[in-house]
Structure formats: C-alpha cells, structure tokens
Amino acid sequence: QQQVKQSPQSLIVQKGGISIINCAYENTAFDYFPWYQQFPGKGPALLIAIRPDVSEKKEGRFTISFNKSAKQFSLHIMDSQPGDSATYFCAASTTSNTGKLIFGQGTTLQVKP
C-alpha cells in the first residue's frame, strides 16, 4: 500500500523551463510535507517543506503548492537549470510521529542545456 504516490517517474525539461512534480497522499493525519533532492551517489537533502495551514510556499526558484481538499501537493521548479538535474522525492509525516517519513517513489529530473 503506497500512502504517497508521486508522478511522473521521470521528467525532461529544457533549461529555463518549468519542472512540475506531483504527489498525492491518502492519510489525512499527515501534516508535514517535505521535498527532498538527491544527487547520484549522495543521500537525500531537504529542499523545501510545507504544512497544511498554507496553500503555497516559495523559496527561491522552488515552490510547493498544496491542496488539502484534494490531498495533493506539487513541486514547481521555475527557470530550471542543468544543476537541478537530480532525483526528487516528496514525503509526508505527522507532527506526532516526526522521524517516520513516508516517501513517494521519486522523480528523476533531467534539465537539458
């Protein structure tokens, strides 16, 4: 049972374009939604996170959009750069059970120069 579903599995975007990755969750108790970025041979690193009390959070070129009623959230990368090429994971957890992140399947992003 996959509690967090992520799509697409892979994504190719031209430099300067917008990359969009989507996630859907099932457990309505989830109240913390981070995105992690992973480069080959490295461990994942936190990119940006959101809580359901806001519908959008922006940090530089990265934006999370959150739709509580649809139980969906997405990552938008504006002005995508070749250095953004990596695997991106969405995740979810509850505040009472931090440390128990449930991850999506991952999206491999390639930004072409």
Partner 1 sequence: NAGVTQTPKFQVLKTGQSMTLQCAQDMNHEYMSWYRQDPGMGLRLIHYSVGAGITDQGEVPNGYNVSRSTTEDFPLRLLSAAPSQTSVYFCASSSPGRTGTDTQYFGPGTRLTVL
For residues 77-96, which are near partner 1 according to CB under 8 A?
A: 89, 93, 95
Considering the complex, what minimum distance in angstroms separates the CB of residue 81 from partner 1? 23
CA dist., res. 39 & res. 21, Å (int): 17
Considering the complex, what minimum distance in angstroms separates the CB of residue 87 from partner 1? 10
* 19 near partner 1, judged by CB under 8 A: no
State how far the alpha carbon of 22 is from the alpha carbons of 42, 97, 99, in Å.
23, 23, 23
Please confirm whether the linkage preceding 8 is cis (ω < 30° from 0). yes
CA dist., res. 7 & res. 14, Å (int): 19
For partner 1, the closer CB: 56 or 79: 56
# residues near partner 1 by CB under 8 A? 26
State how far the alpha carbon of 94 is from the alpha carbons of 1, 57, 69, in Å.
18, 19, 17
Options 7, 17, 32, 72; binder of partner 1; rule CB under 8 A: 32
In the complex, the residues that contact partner 1 under the rule CB under 8 A are: 4, 6, 9, 32, 34, 36, 41-46, 49, 51, 89, 93, 95, 98-106
